[in-house]
Structure 1
Amino acid sequence: MFETVAYELQDGIAEIRLNRPHRLNAVVQKLYDDILAALDQAERDKNVRVIVLTGEGRAFCVGADLKEHKTGRTAFDRRQYLMSEQRVCRRLVSLPKPIIAAVKGYALGAGAEMALACDFIVMAASARIAFPEIGLGTFLGGGVTYVLPRLVGLAKARGLIFLGQQIDGAEAVRIGLASYCIPDETFREGVRTLASELSKKAPFSMQLAKEQLASAAYGTFDSALTAELEGMMFCSTTRDWQEGVDAFAEKRQPTFRGG
């Protein structure tokens, strides 16, 4: 279906795999286009409850394909390419379904930025993540200067960005950059377990939680209370709310259907 992305749906989990393994999934314009198209497909499909973004082969994504960037491009072309990354990261943040970045191998530059835009970063123990842009004479994108200090604090963010430090999965979890670190040999199973757990949650409740967690930093405590009240009232009108109440009373696991 896509030239540079593999898409697979199983048990409510849509897996989007960056599929340029011969270049360690380095980014070109077509890859950004295919990621956006795959995300659109996953959002439209009511059978999709969770999205896993990962890479084919030995890396998640090593950033921009510098070999391609050596060819002549106009300033307009360069800006359009850079805007594509911004669109991808904004889409990952705003898409109303939970997204897991499953990082094995390297996540560098644009790869790290896309991972950071997801709701969860899950890293294999041997994986490495870094923001090397300053050392390459370029700059960061995807909202990193906003998101990264919120996750790890300003002092640690300075070290990661100014020095381009590579950190492994265990260190990423320790500083709050990643959610989980999983041994390499059980990585895929661990990611699927997390995705499966998320897929069982109430879709509308999940959507509201994702929206509010993303927007709360712009508002006040009172505005958060108002948004939460409206969310609770809305959820109480859904069939999933009644299913949750019935399942609790009947001491069973609920089966949410997104209605």
Structure 2
Amino acid sequence: MKVEVDPPLGWLVFNRPERLNAFNTAMMREVLAALDELEGEGDVRFVAITGEGKAFSAGIDLGELAEASRPEEAEKLFSTLATVVDRILGLTKPVIMAVNGHAIGGGAELLWAGDIVVAVRTAKIAWPESLWNLAPPFLPTIGSLVLGPARAAYLALTAESITAEEAYRMGLVSLLVDDPGELGDAVRRVVGKIMASPPAAVESIVAMLRAGKKGWHTQLGVAELKRLSKDTTALEAARSFRDTKKPPDYTRLWRGGRR
């Protein structure tokens, strides 16, 4: 985890490039500490979140999930990620997601917490949670409002990926760049445009944007994710990915076996 302060910007950089910036427990705790640090830094008026290397984030570290011996450990892992999202939504400063590369699973879910999303045009965005007997808590809830119910349902149920350019057309991404090297300048230009307005107006707009993301519908999404994480099928799926790099064959479950 790296924190870089370049007033008025504070950068939070996911720094596990060898694991595609996948979230394990230790990293998520570092993220929470970094968010607290940036919130308390008076010279920081905007927070930008990005990843080191070729990925923004691959989401929850399935390797750590596979090592969980009890479903309760898996639930704790996802609860911590939900806390990260909640902490981002609780910041008093505008948050810009700078998507330098692929955003998968929890990495894609994190984008909903951003006020503005700037992304590399070719970055892949996907919600494959259903393949691991899980559910993305925000795509079917916040996503239905942003993308429309039909698109949100299709992406959540099929686990198909889209590019950032497609996400821009759908309304998830605010601004596109052609190369990761352009992200920093693009974010700074956005900040400059926002600073043409007084802080009070910006704070009011951000508060209204966040209010729609913290309602009962998102609480339902998190509750469903926690419920599914208690099922041993999620652990079995993570172990299958660890051993074969593929999800299990769920055919038996569709033929009347256990869910």
User: Normalization by structure 1: what TM-score?
Assistant: 0.77
Secondary structure of the residue that 2:140 maps to in structure 1?
helix
Shift in CA distance, 56/218, structure 1 to aligned 2, threshold 3 Å: closer
Gaps of 5+ in 2: 216-259
CA distance in 2: counterparts of 1:191 and 1:215, whole angstroms: 24
Q: Is 1:123 aligned with 2:125? A: no
**Which of the two has higher C-alpha Rg?**
1
Match of 1:163 in 2: 158
CA distance in 1: counterparts of 2:213 and 2:59, whole angstroms: 28
Deviation sequence 1:124-165 (CA, Å, 0-9, x none): 011111111112222213x33321011110001011111112
CA distance in 2: counterparts of 1:126 and 1:193, whole angstroms: 21
Secondary structure of the residue that 2:74 maps to in structure 1?
helix
Q: Is 1:113 aligned with 2:113? A: no
Task: Say how many residue pairs are matched.
Answer: 214
Gaps of 5+ in 1: 220-259
Match of 1:227 in 2: none
Q: Please show how residues 1-259 of structure 1 align to structure 2 within 5 Å.
A: 5-141=1-137, 143-184=138-179, 186-199=182-195, 201-215=197-211
CA distance in 2: counterparts of 1:199 and 1:119, whole angstroms: 15
Moved more, 84-93 or 152-161: 84-93
Deviation sequence 1:18-42 (CA, Å, 0-9, x none): 0001101011011111111111111
Q: Which fold has the larger relative contact order, with Cα–Cα distance below 8 Å and residues 6 or more apart in sequence?
A: 2
Match of 1:245 in 2: none
The percentage of aligned residue pairs carrying the same residue is 30
Shift in CA distance, 34/204, structure 1 to aligned 2, threshold 3 Å: farther
CA distance in 1: counterparts of 2:112 and 2:191, whole angstroms: 17
State the superposition RMSD in angstroms.
Answer: 1.9
Match of 2:219 in 1: none
* AA at the equivalent of 1:7: V
Is this contact kept in 1: 2:115–2:209, CA < 8 A?
no
CA distance in 2: counterparts of 1:138 and 1:212, whole angstroms: 30
CA distance in 1: counterparts of 2:16 and 2:101, whole angstroms: 14
Is this contact kept in 2: 1:12–1:199, CA < 8 A?
no
Large movers: runs of 4+ above 4 Å:
216-219
Shift in CA distance, 61/218, structure 1 to aligned 2, threshold 3 Å: closer
